[in-house]
Chains A and B, each alone.
Chain A
Amino acid sequence: MGIRLIAEKCSGCKLCVKACPFGAITVTNKLAGIDIAKCNFCGACVDACKKFNAIEIIREVVPTVDKSKYKGVWVFAEQKEGRVANVTFELLGQGRELANKLAEPLCALLLGSQIAKAARDLIYFGADKVYLAESDQLDVFVEDAFTEVITGLIKEHKPNIVLFGATALGRSLAPRIASRLETGLTADCTSLKIDPETKDLLQTRPAFGGNLMATIVCPNHRPQMASVRPKVFKPIHRDELRMGRIIKYDYKHHILTQRTQLLAVVKEAAKTIGIAEAEIVVAGGLGLGDAENFEIIEKLAQAIGAAVGASRGAVEAGWLSSIHQVGQTGKTVRPQLYIACGISGAVQHLVGMQSSDIIVAINKDPKAPIFNVADYCVVGDVLEVVPALTREIEKIQDAEQTELIVSESELESQLALSG
């Protein structure tokens, strides 16, 4: 296996050099040379060299599993205390689409203790089948036990695709399962599609800090596994008339070990959570100048009932803790309104917020990349614009308040008259 340059066909045109995202090709004396240590075998150079066909990737024939034996799109249903995580419903929404394309069933995997009620919800949100494993030992998430039960289910029923939410839990569990099953896993996918020819799952995710999008396949192994962050896909409409089957899984032949044990949960204070769930996010970046100026972001957020977000730069400068971070290394958000204040818009930030419904960008630099994704662009000093925006909003809120009081008192006086 490897990559080969056919010297007699190479014209030294350098098209491959430009195409290579890894900087692995150099041309000397009109002949391309490939640095194998840098090469990722992505094939971009082969496509670029279609005219000369001077580069080929030699792939040994890998023993392929009998793909026809693997059927079904599975979604791991994450739940805590019987409450199913939103990301599960989002995955069922996208899973439904994939299952329809493949004409295969959509199944959910539900593990826990006394959670049968949640199983019905999974059907209402699109699942044809729910595999339910109930046990006191599965009451709280333990990597060992969950890996054991889920790999057991996968080996028995041979699904084609298994999807996980890229949450703290999913990110800890999915790699263990993929590792035990010796199959591929793609993290943080932003798009999942079925290749019309091969029927393989096309998994697209940001690469190189979001500067490029990579499409990844898992052609010779099954199941194909992928994780997706919350807020990337949308759930389908909840329908209580939807029918499905709940299948209890007999896990008793598995030995459930507990080499990790949850001792306590310290919930974060209300102020600091929720950028992933908030309807409005106000986020600040390095343009604010220093930590103290972040106060203007908090004031604006308070005025409009928003959560506070931050760019990687602001978090790395220590102005805010990393739970506020929006972007590839932070959280993906999809609020109705995202206000970016003093954030230049590095690609790794954009991938985390560009699917917001409406984006407002406030930045001094008219060339800042954040303006490329914004609906409303305000070129100006954040330290002036943000407080002015807060004042304007408070003014309107006050006016509405007064209107309300006026109309109430009018109503009262009318009542008094009629009385």
Chain B
Amino acid sequence: MNIVVCVKQVPDTLEVGVDKETNTLIREGVDSVINPFDLCAIEEALCLKEQYGGMVTVLSMGPPQAVDTLRQGLSLGAERAILLSDISFAGADTLATSYTLAKAVKRIGCFDLIICGKQAVDGDTAHVGPSLAEKLGIPHISCVIKIHEVTDEYMVAGRMTEDGIEKVRLSLPGLITVSKEINEPRFPSLKWKINAARSEIEIWSANDIGADESKIGLKGSPTRVVKMTTPKHRRAGQLLEGSVEEQVTKLVSMLRQAEIL
């Protein structure tokens, strides 16, 4: 089973603060990490490879320093790593990103399954997986939390919805996006770490994948950010005073006055 895993390098957003005076992000010391959902995508691909054979390729689009993310993929056990890096890819929204990834997947050629994290923690859109599947003309399942069965023609996977878990059959080749519940990512092994250090990461440009320049980067992006603002907080609340018992009594009586309790 040949699998392509799409990964993204993201800022460690948990650590990001906002400068109250200038309304901008405090970015000093913010590390870049692999999107945590993508780590689960790699893990799932490796498990499938171990069970059914085949090869795992990690694919990313980003600035040159995103090779770190791909090297991490190699150190976990992926055989091949490709970085799509070109100045003309800059400013891509989710449509332009999925077009670019689709062109790269077509160049890779033979694959049975594409796995993406369900969303990237910096953008949180969850668009790229389904959009990429559409660009490749293959079916997809979003938000997979378990793979039940895999055959040559199809796979059965569980996806999380508001009503519970839906068991869905997906014909292959196909694409799934995975949620964190699906597995516990492994740590890099020494053998693969050595392998990763020795492996070369292929860098592909817009030219290499034969991309139509009107469909990539800022130019290929229908959406555009026009404004950034700091979210407003709604109010300063009332501080309850006194001992724990007094605070609690006050609170309950106020909630009862508001007819909530």
A residues in contact (CB < 8 Å) with B: 1-2, 18-21, 23, 36-44, 60, 62, 80, 143-144, 147, 167-169, 171-176, 178-180, 182-188, 202, 206-221, 259-268, 273, 276, 280, 304, 321-323, 328-329, 336-337, 346-348, 350-351, 354, 357-361, 371-380, 384-385, 388-389, 392-393, 396
Q: Contacts A18-B24, A184-B221, A266-B167; is A375 near B95 (CB within 8 Å)? A: no
Q: Using Cβ atoms and an 8 Å threshold, which residues of chain A touch B140?
A: 143, 172, 176, 260
Are A60 and B219 in contact, CB atoms less than 8 angstroms apart? yes
Say yes or no: is B150 at the interface (Cβ < 8 Å to chain A). no
Minimal Cβ-Cβ distance residue in A for B90? A36
Are A384 and B18 in contact, CB atoms less than 8 angstroms apart? no
A-B contact pairs, 9 of them (CB 8 A): A37-B63, A168-B161, A169-B161, A175-B128, A207-B123, A210-B231, A211-B231, A268-B165, A358-B260
Q: Which of A80, A171, A389 interacts with B163 by CB under 8 Å?
A: A80
Compute how far the CA of A322 lies from the CA of B182 in the bound complex, rounded to whole angstroms. Answer: 12
Which stretch in B51-59, B70-78, B203-211, B251-259 binds the other chain?
A: B251-259
Q: Which of B16, B22, B179, B255 interacts with A358 by CB under 8 Å?
A: B255
Compute how far the CA of A39 lies from the CA of B255 in the bound complex, rounded to whole angstroms. Answer: 48
Say yes or no: is B188 at the interface (Cβ < 8 Å to chain A). no
Are B167 and A375 in contact, CB atoms less than 8 angstroms apart? no
Q: Using Cβ atoms and an 8 Å threshold, which residues of chain A touch B161?
A: 167-169
Q: How far is the CB of A333 from the nearest CB of chain B, in Å?
A: 13
- Per the 8 Å Cβ criterion, residues 100-144 of B in contact with A are 119, 121-135, 138-143
Compute how far the CA of A335 lies from the CA of B135 in the bound complex, rounded to whole angstroms. Answer: 39
Q: Using Cβ atoms and an 8 Å threshold, which residues of chain A touch B231?
A: 206, 210-213, 347, 350-351
Minimal Cβ-Cβ distance residue in A for B141? A260
Q: Using Cβ atoms and an 8 Å threshold, which residues of chain B touch A360?
A: 251, 255
Are A380 and B244 in contact, CB atoms less than 8 angstroms apart? yes
Are B168 and A263 in contact, CB atoms less than 8 angstroms apart? yes
Compute how far the CA of A183 lies from the CA of B180 in the bound complex, rounded to whole angstroms. Answer: 30
Are A184 and B91 in contact, CB atoms less than 8 angstroms apart? no
Q: Using Cβ atoms and an 8 Å threshold, which residues of chain B touch A209?
A: 13-14, 16, 121-122
Say yes or no: is B60 at the interface (Cβ < 8 Å to chain A). no
Are A263 and B167 in contact, CB atoms less than 8 angstroms apart? yes
Main secondary structure of the interface of B (DSSP, over half): mixed
Minimal Cβ-Cβ distance residue in A for B236? A372
B residues in contact (CB < 8 Å) with A: 11, 13-14, 16-19, 22, 24-25, 27, 63-64, 87, 90-91, 93-95, 98, 119, 121-135, 138-143, 156, 158-171, 174, 179-181, 217-219, 221-231, 233-240, 244-245, 247-249, 251-252, 254-256, 258, 260-261
Compute how far the CA of A212 lies from the CA of B87 in the bound complex, rounded to whole angstroms. Answer: 26
Q: Which of B91, B129, B141, B252 interacts with A393 by CB under 8 Å?
A: B252
Minimal Cβ-Cβ distance residue in A for B145? A322
Q: Using Cβ atoms and an 8 Å threshold, which residues of chain A touch B256?
A: 396
Are A188 and B234 in contact, CB atoms less than 8 angstroms apart? no
Q: Which 5 pairs from chain A and chain B are nearest by CB? A: A184-B222, A259-B139, A184-B223, A37-B63, A209-B13
Minimal Cβ-Cβ distance residue in B for A274? B162
Q: Contacts A268-B165, A347-B231, A393-B261; is A378 near B240 (CB within 8 Å)? A: yes
Are B244 and A321 in contact, CB atoms less than 8 angstroms apart? no
Q: Using Cβ atoms and an 8 Å threshold, which residues of chain B touch A43?
A: 225-226
Q: Contacts A208-B13, A219-B224; is A213 near B245 (CB within 8 Å)? A: no
Q: Contacts A23-B27, A213-B228, A215-B226; is A373 near B131 (CB within 8 Å)? A: no
Are A144 and B160 in contact, CB atoms less than 8 angstroms apart? no
Are B235 and A21 in contact, CB atoms less than 8 angstroms apart? no
Q: Which of B13, B133, B252 interacts with A389 by CB under 8 Å?
A: B252
Apart from A179-B135, A218-B223, list 9 A-B contacts with CB within 8 A.
A43-B225, A208-B16, A209-B16, A213-B229, A217-B223, A266-B164, A336-B260, A385-B248, A388-B248
Q: How far is the CB of B48 from the nearest CB of chain A, in Å?
A: 18
Q: Contacts A218-B223, A350-B231, A385-B244; is A322 near B98 (CB within 8 Å)? A: no
Q: Which of A40, A175, A183 interacts with B134 by CB under 8 Å?
A: A175
Q: How far is the CB of A381 from the nearest CB of chain B, in Å?
A: 8
